[in-house]
Amino acid sequence: MTYIREYDEWTLEFEMSQYYEFFGLPKKEEKDGYARFDTRGQNRARTGLVELSNRKFIIPEEYNQGDVHVKKLKIRSLIDIKEISEHTKHQGKAYQAIAKTKHIKISIDGIFLKDFEQNFFRLPIDLNKQIAQTLGVKRVSSAVQFFIINLYALAEQSSSGIVEQTFESLIETMRLEKAYQQRRKKRVQERIDQAIACAIDLGVITKYERAKVISSELDIFRFYLSPELMN
Identify the domain containing residue 24 by its residue range: 1-120
For residues 149-178, average pLDDT: 88
Q: Does residue 14 share a domain with residue 45?
A: yes
Please answer whether residues 4 and 11 qualify as being in contact, where contact means their C-beta atoms are separated by less than 8 angstroms. Answer: yes
Q: What is the pLDDT of residues 188-200, one digit of tens each?
A: 889 999 999 999 9
- Model pLDDT, residue 216: 61
Longest dimension (CA), the chain: 81
Question: Number of folded domains in the chain?
Answer: 2
Q: CB–CB of 78/108 below 8 Å?
A: yes
> What CATH number has the domain bearing residue 135?
1.10.10
- Of 73, 103, 120, the position where a domain reaches its end is 120
Same domain, 145 and 114: no
pLDDT at 224 over 90: yes
Q: Is the dihedral of CA 27, 31, 34, 39 positive or negative?
A: negative
Q: d(Cα 226, Cα 199) in Å, to the nearest integer?
A: 10
Average pLDDT of every residue of the chain: 86
Q: Are 116 and 128 contained in the same domain? A: no
For residue 201, the SS3 value is: helix
Query: For the segment 42-61, what is each residue's pLDDT rounded down to a tens digit?
Result: 898 899 899 999 999 998 98
What is the pTM (predicted TM-score) of this model?
A: 0.68
pLDDT grade, residue 128 (50/70/90)?
Answer: confident
Once rounded to an integer, what is the mean pLDDT over residues 73-81?
91
Chain segment 86-103, per-residue pLDDT in tens: 888 777 666 666 677 889
Which of helix, strand or coil describes residue 135? helix
Q: What is the pLDDT of residues 130-159, one digit of tens each?
A: 898 898 887 788 899 999 999 998 888 888
